Structure 1
């Protein structure tokens, strides 16, 4: 910052909120009245910082609408008393006239990201304001001429809460300890038996089509055998699970639109009758959503006691014959790697006429706190797009820290060598720009009707459940507000918005916000999932050169942290997949065809 400029802070109290106006101003423009308002002028390392007396000052309305606004709830814990304090903090930016939209959102985001670095995040009120003022002195933020910081103390009900549902680890539900949870831990008031029953159903859905013994289930849900047997009987009465002759249990798929055939050996299909499109899912709700998009479908199930079972649903999407399957486990321990890779290889070996592979389901969005257009919301859909780098998926298998503290990532990258799907995607993008036509809206509505009888609720959850939190170290959590449309327009209107980008994964990313966001920035990653590198190894190893990811956003981590949004996000992704497959023959679908 030039010597003739100062950064001036003026506090104002308005109702319950405290407003802190921070502005950069030239000394040459000071009037006598302004000099009289000074309360403290910094020296030494704080030279150039000025604190004014509290004043009514300039109303925010006088400044006009802020060009960028970031809001977040700051969840703080008093280390001595353990008492929780929740503050709402809003940062509003006004820029010089020469700053365009990209300059504004980039400067605002970089300012915010530096302000909230976990290693030096100011935990107290004064430190936070001082850091804002010090950052305003930096030349990289010279485009910002004024900032208004609004701080308001909230009640405990407004605090960020930990996820309601247990995180799935290695495909199986497993609750976190209190120390691992973010924010306030919600007490589950339900009877223990009901909690066990829910866990059992989730475990059997994750394992499907594999069979699990009573011993397996007792170990996984960590409950006594008598309770497990009682709840298994209750699930059987509800027709949600089946017991097999082997003594094991499996999820019972309730789909009156699909014929189910249990086979001892998978059928042999002649070359001209084989499906040409394969769809791979990992979660039970994903498989049902994908199958809801198909017509004239039959599911063939081969159960194998003590091994990996297979479930293939064969049907039509338009004129294209498709086969869908579900991975019995997902994750990156050794057994999950072998399972997901083997399932993929077996699928593509059984159906050797496959031309295109879709990996469809849920994932976690990479948030962008200032740019509305880049920020994915829960329920939005991300499609892999290789138009920029060629690669659509980066898997990080190792994180290294150098002696100087620099972090490097060992990655494996995957790209489709056949450009057919990318060409289809480019055509769809052009069509949307010209006509704003979104056929997936109808397919979502149709899917909701077909899936209405399922145990899971595929309806879109209430918007207030789309909460974005960030861990900033030492047990502190902030809850971010989502960026607003520059013109205040609601483009979503209860339906998903489509994004295009690159996917990433890594074992440590689901619980490390700072690493995940750093990796996303370096590799231009837009979404994270639960580690599909072994699936892609199976696809590439089977010499399938055309593949695409289509994922609905169910959280802001890896897709497995917020189960409430998973069914709807999976349905949205499946509906977009159907739109893409139908566009193979004619990308310009008539709107009349969808009425």
Structure 2
């Protein structure tokens, strides 16, 4: 990553990436090919940005100042006001994976991309709804789908991966090669022997880490011979609370079909029809810890970098901008009334 000499104006930036914490923010900064000088601020500026370039795209990267759906929405609206030429938006986050046999053989460090399936927008905000008299949870929420043209580029990259494989590992190694301190901050792959996926009924024993957990209670999984990291496409659940229960994890998958859960998309997609990209940092169970989170942030950032390589640059003619669509209430994609019922999560 080098500093670019040319000066830029706010309208030069056509991509926006929002990061929930400094972990994802650092990973995205590491993924930049160039860092641009800061643009002079105005009295109305409330967000902090790192500006730069990935491939042929100028991108603004920002981080939420604190957790919470209300704050995420405010940051996004401010960003769209600050950069009025944004074509596509992205949320790069660390999430919890929900493996499901051979269909979704999800492992720590993998990447999950929220993808519309049927009538689903790809993001399931199960944290909003109401509990019915029978104890079932009814979810009713308006959801924005990402722009269809952006999804077409996602499909293009997916096809490329089927032919040629992905470059996520290569991109992460490039980050670590340029920024050696990222190794000290644990952005490196912890190794397959540290990927511990325990049986649903086996609870953590309370000690820090899983050094004393019973390894005979691990779920038997074949080692990955070729590509150790995979990209999965499907539904991502969005919660406003941290989940560390294998029982709840399985309920979410069985009744809602989600394969990953994160905690910021709901608050953002109210105003920001973005593509949600999650690196898998844990399994949402009682064994949850942060060991894999830095690497998961790096793999999610690397996926976005590779995705941008298949998106052509703006031609400045006929481009649709998220800012104008939000103001018109069109929000660049269809809004979906997403109603689902599943059993209470008090399991």
Determine if the TM-score, normalized by the shorter chain, exceeds 0.5. yes
Which residue of structure 2 lines up, in the alignment, with residue 504 of structure 1? Answer: 237
Distance in 2, Cα, partners of 1:343 & 1:509: 21
State yes or no: 1:324 paired with 2:61. yes
CA deviation vs aligned residue, 1:407-464 (integer Å, no higher than 9, x gap): 223243524252112111222222222x233222321111111231245121100322
Change in Cα spacing, 1:398 to 1:514, as seen in structure 2 (3 Å) is farther
State yes or no: 1:315 paired with 2:42. no
- The residue correspondences of 1:358-507 to structure 2 (distance < 5 A) are 358-368=90-100, 371-398=101-128, 402-404=132-134, 406-412=135-141, 414-416=143-145, 418-433=147-162, 435-454=163-182, 456-469=185-198, 472=201, 480-485=217-222, 490-493=225-228, 496-507=229-240
TM-score, normalization: structure 2?
0.75
Pairwise CA distance, 1:383? 1.1
Structure 2 runs not aligned, ≥5 long:
206-212, 314-347
Which residue of structure 2 lines up, in the alignment, with residue 95 of structure 1? Answer: none
State yes or no: 1:552 paired with 2:279. yes
State yes or no: 1:536 paired with 2:269. yes
Kindly indicate whether the alpha-carbon contact (under 8 Å) linking 1:363 and 1:555 is maintained by their aligned counterparts in 2. yes
Pairwise CA distance, 1:276? 0.5
Kindly indicate whether the alpha-carbon contact (under 8 Å) linking 2:24 and 2:94 is maintained by their aligned counterparts in 1. yes
Change in Cα spacing, 1:342 to 1:300, as seen in structure 2 (3 Å) is farther
Change in Cα spacing, 1:509 to 1:442, as seen in structure 2 (3 Å) is closer
Kindly indicate whether the alpha-carbon contact (under 8 Å) linking 2:156 and 2:310 is maintained by their aligned counterparts in 1. no
- Once superposed, what is the RMSD of the aligned Cα atoms? 3.4
Deviates more, 1:524-533 or 1:376-385: 524-533
Distance in 2, Cα, partners of 1:399 & 1:457: 38
TM-score, normalization: structure 1?
0.46
Kindly indicate whether the alpha-carbon contact (under 8 Å) linking 1:281 and 1:360 is maintained by their aligned counterparts in 2. yes
Pairwise CA distance, 1:268? 9.5
Kindly indicate whether the alpha-carbon contact (under 8 Å) linking 2:131 and 2:137 is maintained by their aligned counterparts in 1. yes
Q: Secondary structure of 2:292's partner?
A: helix
Q: Select the structure of larger CA radius of gyration.
A: 1
- The residue correspondences of 1:287-366 to structure 2 (distance < 5 A) are 287-298=25-36, 300=38, 310-330=47-67, 336-366=68-98
Which residue of structure 2 lines up, in the alignment, with residue 269 of structure 1? Answer: 9
Structure 1 runs not aligned, ≥5 long:
1-255, 260-266, 331-335, 540-544, 587-595
Pairwise CA distance, 1:555? 0.3
Kindly indicate whether the alpha-carbon contact (under 8 Å) linking 1:372 and 1:483 is maintained by their aligned counterparts in 2. no
User: Larger relative CO (CA 8 A, sep 6+): 1 or 2?
Assistant: 2
Paired positions, count: 300
Kindly indicate whether the alpha-carbon contact (under 8 Å) linking 1:302 and 1:310 is maintained by their aligned counterparts in 2. no
Change in Cα spacing, 1:441 to 1:407, as seen in structure 2 (3 Å) is same
Change in Cα spacing, 1:347 to 1:514, as seen in structure 2 (3 Å) is same
Change in Cα spacing, 1:421 to 1:452, as seen in structure 2 (3 Å) is same
State yes or no: 1:576 paired with 2:303. yes
Kindly indicate whether the alpha-carbon contact (under 8 Å) linking 1:284 and 1:326 is maintained by their aligned counterparts in 2. yes
Kindly indicate whether the alpha-carbon contact (under 8 Å) linking 1:554 and 1:565 is maintained by their aligned counterparts in 2. yes
Pairwise CA distance, 1:362? 1.0
Change in Cα spacing, 1:526 to 1:340, as seen in structure 2 (3 Å) is same
Change in Cα spacing, 1:424 to 1:268, as seen in structure 2 (3 Å) is closer
